[in-house]
Amino acid sequence: MTTLLFFAICFAVLALCLIIRLVKGPSVADRAVAADSIDILSDMALVLYALYSGRAAFLDIALVTAILGFVGQTLIAKYLEGRL
């Protein structure tokens, strides 16, 4: 279905818009949050492309990037807190 591909492109464009916040963000926490949101939005684009093409391998990639984003953001938070 082409509509799914259209939705996937919309999510990818939203993820590209967040790069503005990633470049401009005044504090470190802004940049970490923006990077995690880019991760989540590109994950959604991957899920929609997996539904469009019917291949389950893209869902594995989406799961791995979700886990890596969670671990990365929690580690950055611990480092900012000064307990790492």
Q: With binding defined as CB under 8 A, does residue 49 bind another protein?
A: no
Does residue 64 interact with another protein by CB under 8 A? no
- Any long-range contacts for 28-31 (C-beta under 8 Å, 24+ apart)? 28/76, 28/80, 29/80
| 78/76 Cα distance (integer angstroms) | 5
5 sits near another protein (criterion: CB under 8 A): no
Amino acid at position 35, single letter: A
Q: In the complex, what is the shortest distance from the CB of residue 43 to another protein, in angstroms, rounded to a whole number? A: 8
Question: In the bound complex, what is the minimum distance in angstroms from residue 10's beta carbon to another protein?
Answer: 6
Q: Nearest approach, Cβ of 11 to another protein (angstroms)?
A: 7
